[in-house]
Structure 1
Amino acid sequence: MTINVLFAAGEDRWPLYKKPLLDAFEGAGLDVSMSMDIPPGQVDYLIFAPNGGISDFTPFKRCKAVMGLWAGVEHIVGNATLAQPLTRMVDIGLERSMVEWVSAHVLRHHVGLDTHIHGQDGIWRNGILPPLAMDRPVTILGLGELGSACAEALSQLGFPVTGWSRSSKAIPNVRCLHGAAGLNEALTDAQIVVVLTPLTAETENLLNADRLGLLARGAFVINPGRGAQIDDDALLAALDSGQVGHATLDVFRIEPLPEDHPYWAHPKVTVTPHIAAETRPDSSAKIIAENIRRGEAGEPFRFLVDRSAGY
């Protein structure tokens, strides 16, 4: 029996995803009819992105699951019309791109690359010597798939890594803390902080003035998670006072970041345009195909969202 899959992830993504998805469905042995225009009552599975044009899931009564193309689900998890199981995207392309982006910016700040990249003025600055990685404490806020992968990679580079999450986790060679008390301990004297928690009511403004004050003076803040996890005013104040030495930000409360936002002109801020981790069609298509295969076989979906937790 043919499985009807509605692609509701935006017209701009359709040409990029159509062939990888059809190839993945064929590879999984699935008989799938996929398009961007299927009557709601005939849809078996829905591939979703927040800008894909669907906000009311009530008509999709036959739909067995809504499968997100993004790692974050804060735009949909609270939708009262969503009665279907919801899965989020976790794939090797997303993970590897995040690990590479985070590692690059951690190393950039650790070894002080900016001093030499921007200091091409004839001055021989050989007296500036960074500590070894073993003497540079790094804290990762959020130990989901992406945070855990980044923590492992940085640990392998020799950094002493502390990871914090809402619930208890265990990662080899990473000091794992959790809960409210664990958060303050994880931040205290950290020299580099990477923010990778999911965005929920509990993690909005996670890095506020008090918590930024716990960091080692001159610490670096790197945020490829969600913009609302940082109190912007508090971060700007910490940058101006020297409590934070530099902030590298990939995500923002409003995107694209408005041209008049103070981050653009601040000498201690690097803005990147939400590029740290992008879903890759080839690898994500295989995850979607596997989840549809599981749904048809009566097996549990992978990366099922816990509505009560918000991720």
Structure 2
Amino acid sequence: MTFLYKANATRGMEWARFFAARAPDLPFRLWPDIGDPAQVRYLAVWTPPENIAVTFRNLELVFSVGAGVDQFDFSQLPPHVPLIRMLEPGIAESMVEYVTMAVLALHRDLLHFIAQQREQTWREIRITQAAKRRVGVMGLGLLGQAVLERLKAFGFPLAGWNRSPRTIQDVSCYGGRQALPEFLAQTDILVCLLPLTDETRGILNTSLFEVLPRGAQLVNVGRGGHLVEADLIEALERGLLSAAVLDVAEQEPLPAGHPFWSHPRILLTPHIASMTTPETAVEFVLDTIGRHRRGETLPGRVDRERGY
């Protein structure tokens, strides 16, 4: 049996070294060197190969090398093969760092000062106390909860919204579509950490922006598909929003000439908010394979009906 890796080739070499050290009896291959496809039992991918079910007829587990699985067409996966999203701790740690950076940058008016630097002039901006800046997180899974835990240290009033109800100490939690407007109305900095599903695609739109307090700010670290890009530009022009930090876009890499590149109220990064750490990812993968062989519950198993 073989483990096949199809994602970033440089990180794949690191995966190969950790596999050789920790699972020397499990052959490891890097795409496109698949060897005998009938031997492939385990597949770790970012962009899934075509015709998975036909090419790898003895597949037992498919791993996403990231926390999201919206890049998969579930209909192309054999129904009996579990799809596992990555739960290694490096993803959460790097996401917490990025969101903390973004929230603090917005809270302390960094985009205004960047604009002033370019103009070679300084204009005073009064500091807003953290206790008066309300931060709301959409998506209360592993990443959302980790982000909220870190933000507690700064004294922001914190709220969270999720499809299903959650209870988090010192966080006002809201569940379901009916509770979304109440959550939004008390959110000055909105962080999107939702999974991308048919239900959440385009959720960051004009209707949502109009419910936020006027001049609210946005951090999108979910997926580009969550955001209606034209609506964001309009919201910034209308003053519904005052700034946005975006790590994801509908089209990646962002094409030349896209209005996000030069907009003074948008801070862009190239989908780097969180990255899988090869060493701990391999530990998670090998642990999951062991659980699968023993017939145990698999952490990170995707519910295909829900889409995450």
Q: Which TM-score applies when normalising by structure 1?
A: 0.91
Matched residues in 2 for 1:124 and 1:209: separation? 32
- The 8 Å contact of residues 136 and 159 in structure 1, kept in 2 or not, is answered as yes
Report SS of the residue matched to 2:52. coil
Matched residues in 2 for 1:7 and 1:114: separation? 40
CA drift at 1:293: 1.3
RMSD: 1.9
Aligned to 2:111: 114
Report SS of the residue matched to 1:32. coil
For structure 1, list consecutive stretches of 5 or more residues without a partner in the other structure. Answer: none
Matched residues in 1 for 2:76 and 2:196: separation? 18
Q: How does 1:52-67 map to 2 (within 5 A)?
A: 53-67=49-63
- The 8 Å contact of residues 187 and 215 in structure 1, kept in 2 or not, is answered as yes
Equivalent in 5, 8, 13 of residue 7 of structure 1: 5
Amino acid at match of 2:62: V
Q: Tell me: CA distance 1:261–1:170, structure 2 relative to 1, closer, same or farther (3 Å).
A: same
Matched residues in 2 for 1:55 and 1:136: separation? 49
Aligned to 2:255: 258
Q: How does 1:24-39 map to 2 (within 5 A)?
A: 24-25=22-23, 31-36=25-30, 37-39=34-36
CA drift at 1:112: 1.7
How many corresponding residue pairs? 303
Aligned to 1:16: 14
Q: How does 1:258-297 map to 2 (within 5 A)?
A: 258-297=255-294
CA drift at 1:170: 1.4
Aligned to 1:86: 83
Aligned to 1:243: 240
- Is structure 2 residue 141 aligned with structure 1 residue 144? yes
Equivalent in 152, 157, 172 of residue 175 of structure 1: 172
- The 8 Å contact of residues 137 and 192 in structure 2, kept in 1 or not, is answered as yes
CA drift at 1:10: 5.1
For structure 2, list consecutive stretches of 5 or more residues without a partner in the other structure. Answer: none
Matched residues in 2 for 1:163 and 1:104: separation? 19
Q: How does 1:292-307 map to 2 (within 5 A)?
A: 292-307=289-304
- The 8 Å contact of residues 6 and 38 in structure 1, kept in 2 or not, is answered as no
Report SS of the residue matched to 2:15. helix
- Is structure 2 residue 214 aligned with structure 1 residue 220? no
Structure 1 stretches of 4+ moved >6 Å: none
Higher helix fraction (1 or 2): 2
- Is structure 2 residue 70 aligned with structure 1 residue 74? yes
- Is structure 2 residue 183 aligned with structure 1 residue 197? no
- The 8 Å contact of residues 77 and 310 in structure 1, kept in 2 or not, is answered as no
Q: Which TM-score applies when normalising by structure 2?
A: 0.92
Matched residues in 2 for 1:308 and 1:216: separation? 34
- Sequence identity percentage: 36
Q: Tell me: CA distance 1:299–1:133, structure 2 relative to 1, closer, same or farther (3 Å).
A: same
Amino acid at match of 1:188: A
**What do residues 74-115 of structure 1 show as CA deviations (whole Å, max 9, x unaligned)?**
111523343311000122111011000000110011122334
Report SS of the residue matched to 1:93. helix
- The 8 Å contact of residues 111 and 264 in structure 2, kept in 1 or not, is answered as no
CA drift at 1:155: 2.1
State which drifts further: 295-304 or 189-198: 295-304
Report SS of the residue matched to 2:23. helix
CA drift at 1:290: 0.8
State which drifts further: 181-190 or 267-276: 181-190
